[in-house]
Amino acid sequence: MNTHNHHDVLIIGSGAAGLTLALSLANQAKVAVLSKGALNEGSTWFAQGGIAAVLDNQDSVEAHVADTLDAGAGLCHEDSVRFTVERSKAAIEWLIEQGVEFTKQQGGDDYHLTQEGGHSHRRIIHSADATGKAVHSTLIERIIAHPNIDVFEHHIAVDLITEPDHVSRQLRVSGAYTYNRDTECVSVFQAKSVVMATGGASKVYLYSSNPDSACGDGIAMAWRAGCRIANMEFNQFHPTCLYHPKAGSFLVTEALRGEGALLKLPSGERFMDKFDERGELAPRDIVARAIDHEMKRLGSDCLFLDISHKPEAFITEHFPTVKARCLEFGIDITRDAIPVVPAAHYTCGGVVVNQNGQTDLQNLYAIGETSFTGLHGANRMASNSLLECIVYAKSAAEHIASSLSSIPTPSAAPAWDASRVTDSDEDVVISHNWDEIRRFMWDYVGIVRTHKRLERATHRIKLLQKEILEYYTNHKVSNDLIELRNLALVAELIIRSASQRKESRGLHYSLDYPKQAAVARDTILVPTNFAAQAIFVHN
Ligand SMILES: Cc1cc2nc3c(=O)[nH]c(=O)nc-3n(C[C@H](O)[C@H](O)[C@H](O)COP(=O)(O)OP(=O)(O)OC[C@H]3O[C@@H](n4cnc5c(N)ncnc54)[C@H](O)[C@@H]3O)c2cc1C
């Protein structure tokens, strides 16, 4: 059955970015929010640390800007950094107005602020160690209660719908084809403005801290529709994720290393001191690189993080969550070393947007992890990402609200045509290709890259994309097929971006080009159907 849904604004994604936008617009517009799983199945729910903002009198916008620029290794766009940081206090105030309960100082009314790597001041506001859950559950409650917001769970957007704009003589986006996971049908969603808030693409790697939704769908859809994509080579890896076939994505907090946990080879030997004089306390990217190096050298599936030399009472008091989670898999961290691998954690690149969240296509916006605003440069500073979600959702909302009345109602889009495809005959094609992409991306385009590895990856992705396209053209779509097609495209964009960068900078490290180039440049990929439409940003 093919249904048509009409709204003023279609938001694809229900994380911090999508929900903030929905709530900011819903008093003026009829809004649809799509979520490919349940509403809380994005990265937002899992965020632990907190949100960076200038909230303390001792802190300043200048200091937050300087720290972010420093972390970004010369590639941040200072205007975007300033734009974000200047709005950080208002973003937090808005979250508090929505009802988010942040942790307060013991016995006081002031909020407790923590400090994380790269930040020169205490500026991370948080809700204990589960900030994402506190923010997300509050926003979810609010959108469910709002009469102007229609929520569609288990709906995965497949592709954008475009139509000609007769005034500008350019294409404008007017909706999306959407597959309903429950009914297995594709419907048409149309709206005057469409917003991509689909999160990152870290699932393209074998090991990831992200939930299953992070396939880069929005980046792939925007590229296919004709938008530029930038800086996809900058993938942030968290050094220690629990390695167990049934553990899913569980981060082992850096605080363990802070309290003396040691990284060890399978033989029990320490190795970090060979890589950095700070040993286990070296910055995240150095630790991740060292683990990757040793795993590749030894052909080992994982390495080990050991805190068992500390008193049992200390471990239990400080790390109850890690202890409990590991025990579920038979690992007693008071006695055993924890098997760990680094894991893809954050996608710094994405769909090129300006400060209103506008993409290259008329009426199409991108916000949150799926977008490229220029804030993160070559390395995201901890806790700046949720901030970016809120700030850009708010600025996109303002821009959409001011332009809706001048946008014509979209013309009726053609229904999805499934008349020439057959049922999938062999789902093993999908599962095999899915695994193969994630494995070779890990081995060849992961934490440490070389020219040869990237060449191998280029060769592999071309073959796989041919096979996936052939399968997609001839068979009915399914959730896994939609995600696989996007994952393959995002993998291609990462490989192309990494191959173009002939230097090591921030999160991109190449053994063939270990030095940083004198001039910092973004890697901007331009699709063949790119029509210079909304002319503004970052050239
Ligand atoms: C374990 C972990 C800890 C983190 N800790 C922090 C932290 O402390 N501080 C911080 O600032 N950042 C942190 N981050 C990063 C931060 O959580 C994310 O960058 C941020 O939540 C992204 O929000 P988002 O709204 O862009 O996307 P998400 O929250 O990932 O939401 C994406 C949404 O898009 C939907 N979606 C995707 N594709 C489709 C499609 N095709 N059709 C329909 N819907 C779709 C998904 O269902 C989901 O609803 C952490 C991330 C992880 C994984």
pLDDT tens, residue order, the chain (539 aa): 557 899 999 999 999 999 999 999 999 999 999 999 999 999 999 988 899 999 999 999 999 999 999 999 999 999 999 999 999 999 999 999 999 999 998 888 999 998 877 889 889 999 987 899 999 999 999 999 999 999 999 999 999 999 998 888 889 999 999 999 999 999 999 999 999 999 999 999 999 999 999 999 999 999 999 999 999 999 999 999 999 988 877 888 877 887 899 999 999 999 999 999 989 888 788 899 999 999 989 999 999 999 999 999 989 888 888 899 999 999 999 999 999 999 999 999 999 999 999 999 999 999 999 999 999 999 999 899 999 999 999 999 999 999 999 999 999 999 998 888 888 777 888 999 999 999 999 999 999 999 999 999 999 999 999 999 999 999 999 999 999 999 999 999 999 999 999 999 999 999 999 999 999 999 999 999 986 554 444 43
Q: Are 382 and 267 contacting, i.e. CB atoms less than 8 angstroms apart?
A: no
Strand partners, 188: 4, 177
* Helical (H) or strand (E) element with 439: helix 428-444
pTM of the model: 0.94
Q: Is 10 helix (H, G, I), strand (E, B) or coil?
A: strand
Of 228, 284, 380, 496, catalytic: 284
Q: Count other C-beta atoms under 10 Å from residue 428's C-beta.
A: 9
CA of 479 to the centre of ligand 1 (A): 19
Ligand 1, atom 38, lies closest to the CA of 198
pLDDT value at position 245?
85
Q: Are 533 and 360 contacting, i.e. CB atoms less than 8 angstroms apart?
A: yes
Ligand 1, atom 50, lies closest to the CA of 47
Q: Is the CB of 125 under 6 A from ligand 1?
A: no
Q: Is the CB of 32 under 6 A from ligand 1?
A: no
Long-range pairs of 329-332 with CB within 8 A, sequence gap ≥ 24: 329/242, 329/244, 329/246, 329/247, 331/244
Among 385, 390, 391, 487, say which to mutate for ligand 1: greatest number of ligand atoms within 8 Å of CB.
385
Ligand 1, atom 25, lies closest to the CA of 15
Give catalytic status of residue 284 as yes or no.
yes
pLDDT value at position 437?
98
Ligand 1, atom 20, lies closest to the CA of 44
Task: Report how far residue 40's alpha carbon sits from residue 42's, in angstroms, rounded to the nearest whole number.
Answer: 6
Task: Report how far residue 250's alpha carbon sits from residue 258's, in angstroms, rounded to the nearest whole number.
Answer: 18
Q: How far is CA 325 from CA 41, 131, 320, in A?
A: 20, 19, 9
Q: What is the DSSP string of 150-211?
A: EEETTEEEEEEEEEEETTTTEEEEEEEEEEETTTTEEEEEEEEEEEE-----GGGSSSBSS-
Task: Provide the token pair at 496.
Answer: 């192309």
Q: Are 58 and 121 contacting, i.e. CB atoms less than 8 angstroms apart?
A: yes
Q: Is 333 helix (H, G, I), strand (E, B) or coil?
A: coil
pLDDT value at position 48?
81
CA of 51 to the centre of ligand 1 (A): 13
CA of 16 to the centre of ligand 1 (A): 7
pLDDT value at position 425?
73
pLDDT value at position 285?
84
Q: Is the CB of 373 under 6 A from ligand 1?
A: no
CA of 41 to the centre of ligand 1 (A): 8
Name the pairing type of β-strands 51-52 and 124-125: antiparallel
Residue type at 220 in one-letter notation: A
- The CA-to-CA distance between both ends of the chain, in Å, stands at 44
Q: Is the CB of 240 under 6 A from ligand 1?
A: no
Q: Are 11 and 34 contacting, i.e. CB atoms less than 8 angstroms apart?
A: yes
Q: Is 507 helix (H, G, I), strand (E, B) or coil?
A: coil
* Helical (H) or strand (E) element with 70: helix 61-71
Q: Is the CB of 369 under 6 A from ligand 1?
A: yes
Scanning the structure block, which residue is given the tokens 């093919």? Answer: 2
Among 135, 198, 208, 325, say which to mutate for ligand 1: greatest number of ligand atoms within 8 Å of CB.
198
Task: Report how far residue 217's alpha carbon sits from residue 198's, in angstroms, rounded to the nearest whole number.
Answer: 7
296 contact partners, CB below 8 Å, separation of at least 6: 448
Q: Are 104 and 111 contacting, i.e. CB atoms less than 8 angstroms apart?
A: yes
